[in-house]
């Protein structure tokens, strides 16, 4: 803090920082920039910042920057939207071609990239604004901290296109719920809490905090122009003595919890608030969130939950109604209720 600042630290945009510099790494969909003080910024640059294969590759690269003298990472950009999630057109193309092995590998690649961010040896702070949906939300959930612009719409909206979160979104919300509710509310509560959260979407940063997409310790910036600076300050604070998180064992209820959630879904079908395909998707989600074939005495590992996420996703994308939902969103920008 000595000397006179030529540029106010509290207000800058990524464009200012990268104007005179070469990226540390770059591909067709993302770049990594050195933004000073040993902090790097991973910038998604695809259309609407959708997440595709090159983005996932760059996430993996970003998680390994410590050897290049980087001590903290920000994921952020100057664009109106942080990320609207997976490149759905790519997924639909694979589904229509029946390229199941490629699709499965894509899911696994996403899980690996998210996991690399989560357990990176440097702290990761997501600076989010605008739409933070699906895979974009999963990036934020896997970060050590989030700095959110007040006008942030955040959620795991996968169920609206007939799939369940498969890049660790279920895992991360479960880990949080299990920690929040440890020993207080029994084995079914974390699963039902996350079930409700996944069917909700936050319309603001405060809403995201209420719904658990943001932790109480995550920051909110009123000024969009100070978002990256605020995130950098947070990242530098975390960098001091940083230790990556330890994987958690999750005590989940198994079949009995899934059945309890299924009864709620079925009630929705009867009273007209859910469709037949909502029941299929909700039942698959319930299976993931309750730990699959387990029991409260047999905790599941985080990687067990990733496996369940992948299997649920692969089952659902093979259904006709899920494909209809995805295509409707792509072609008509409309959520299809089928």
Partner 1 sequence: MKDVVLVDYVRSPFTPSRRGDLAGVRPDEMAAQVIRALIGKSGIPPNDIEDVIVGCSTPEAEQGYNVARNIGFLAGVPISAAATTVNRFCGSSMQSIHMAAGAIQMEAGDVFICAGVESMSRIPATGYNFMPHPGLADTFPEAYIAMGQTAENLARRNGISRDAQEEFAVHSHAKADAAARRNFFANEIVPISVDDQHIERDGCIRPGTNREALANLKPAFDQDGSVTAGTSSPLTDGAAAVLVCSQDYARAHGLRGIARIKSIAVAGCAPEIMGIGPVPATQKALERAGLEFGNIDIIELNEAFAAQAIAVIEDAGMDESRINLDGGAIALGHPLGATGARITGKLASLLQREGKEFGLATQCIGGGQGIATILQAL
Can you tell me which of 236, 260, 279, 314 binds partner 1, judged by CB under 8 A?
260
Biggest CA–CA distance in the chain, Å, is 68
Q: Would you say 132 and 125 are in contact if contact means Cβ atoms under 8 Å apart?
A: no
The rounded radius of gyration (Å) of the Cα atoms in the chain is 20
Contacting range for partner 1; rule: CB under 8 A; set: 33-41, 185-193, 238-246, 326-334: 185-193
Q: Give the separation between CA 26 and CA 19, rounded to whole angstroms.
A: 15
Query: Closer CB to partner 1, residue 54 or residue 268?
Result: 268
Q: Would you say 281 and 262 are in contact if contact means Cβ atoms under 8 Å apart?
A: no
Segment 228-257, which members bind partner 1 (CB under 8 A)? 253, 255-257
Q: Would you say 48 and 42 are in contact if contact means Cβ atoms under 8 Å apart?
A: no
Query: Closer CB to partner 1, residue 162 or residue 254?
Result: 254
Tell whether residue 193 is a contact of partner 1 (CB under 8 A).
Answer: no
Residue 244 neighbours by CB distance under 10 Å: 13
Tell me the site size for partner 1, rule CB under 8 A: 16
Tell whether residue 10 is a contact of partner 1 (CB under 8 A).
Answer: no
Can you tell me which of 270, 297, 332, 333 binds partner 1, judged by CB under 8 A?
270
Segment 127-156, which members bind partner 1 (CB under 8 A)? none
Tell whether residue 271 is a contact of partner 1 (CB under 8 A).
Answer: yes
Query: Closer CB to partner 1, residue 168 or residue 187?
Result: 187
Tell whether residue 188 is a contact of partner 1 (CB under 8 A).
Answer: yes
CA distances from 138 to 76, 135, 165, 263 (A): 14, 5, 8, 28
Report the candidate in 58, 55, 88, 46 with the shortest Cα–Cα distance to residue 313: 88
Smallest separation (angstroms) from partner 1 to the CB of 277: 16
CA distances from 136 to 96, 141, 213, 236, 293 (A): 24, 9, 12, 23, 29
Contacting range for partner 1; rule: CB under 8 A; set: 165-173, 195-203, 258-266, 303-311: 258-266
Can you tell me which of 245, 267, 298, 331 binds partner 1, judged by CB under 8 A?
267
Point out which residues bind partner 1 (CB under 8 A): 185-189, 253, 255-257, 259-260, 263, 267, 270-272
């Amino acid at each position: 803090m000595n000397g006179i600042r030529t540029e106010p630290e509290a207000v800058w945009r990524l464009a200012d920082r990268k104007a005179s510099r070469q990226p540390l790494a770059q591909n067709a969909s993302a770049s990594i920039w050195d933004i000073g003080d040993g902090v790097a910024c991973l910038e998604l640059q695809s259309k609407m910042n959708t997440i595709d294969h090159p983005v996932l590759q760059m996430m993996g690269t970003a998680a390994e920057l410590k050897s290049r003298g980087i001590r903290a990472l920000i994921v952020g950009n100057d664009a109106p939207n942080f990320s609207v999630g997976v490149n759905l057109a790519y997924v639909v193309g694979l589904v229509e071609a029946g390229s199941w092995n490629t699709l499965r590998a894509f899911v696994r690649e996403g899980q690996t990239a998210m996991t690399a961010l989560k357990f990176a040896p440097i702290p990761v702070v997501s600076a989010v604004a605008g739409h933070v949906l699906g895979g974009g939300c999963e990036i934020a959930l896997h970060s050590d901290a989030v700095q959110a612009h007040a006008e942030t719409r955040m959620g795991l909206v996968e169920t609206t296109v007939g799939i369940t979160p498969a890049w660790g979104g279920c895992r991360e919300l479960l880990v949080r719920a299990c920690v929040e509710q440890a020993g207080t509310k029994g084995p079914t509560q974390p699963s039902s809490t996350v079930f409700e959260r996944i069917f909700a979407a936050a319309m603001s940063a405060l809403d995201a905090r209420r719904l658990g997409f943001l932790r109480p310790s995550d920051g909110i910036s009123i000024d969009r122009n100070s978002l990256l600076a605020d995130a950098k300050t947070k990242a530098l604070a975390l960098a001091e003595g940083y230790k990556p998180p330890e994987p958690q064992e999750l005590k989940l209820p198994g079949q009995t919890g899934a059945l309890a959630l299924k009864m709620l879904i079925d009630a929705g079908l009867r009273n007209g608030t859910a469709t037949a395909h909502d029941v299929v998707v909700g039942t698959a989600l319930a299976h993931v969130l309750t730990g699959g074939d387990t029991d409260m005495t047999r905790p599941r590992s985080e990687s067990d939950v990733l496996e369940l996420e992948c299997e649920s996703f692969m089952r659902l994308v093979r259904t006709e109604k899920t494909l209809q939902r995805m295509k409707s969103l792509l072609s008509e920008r409309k959520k299809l209720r089928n």
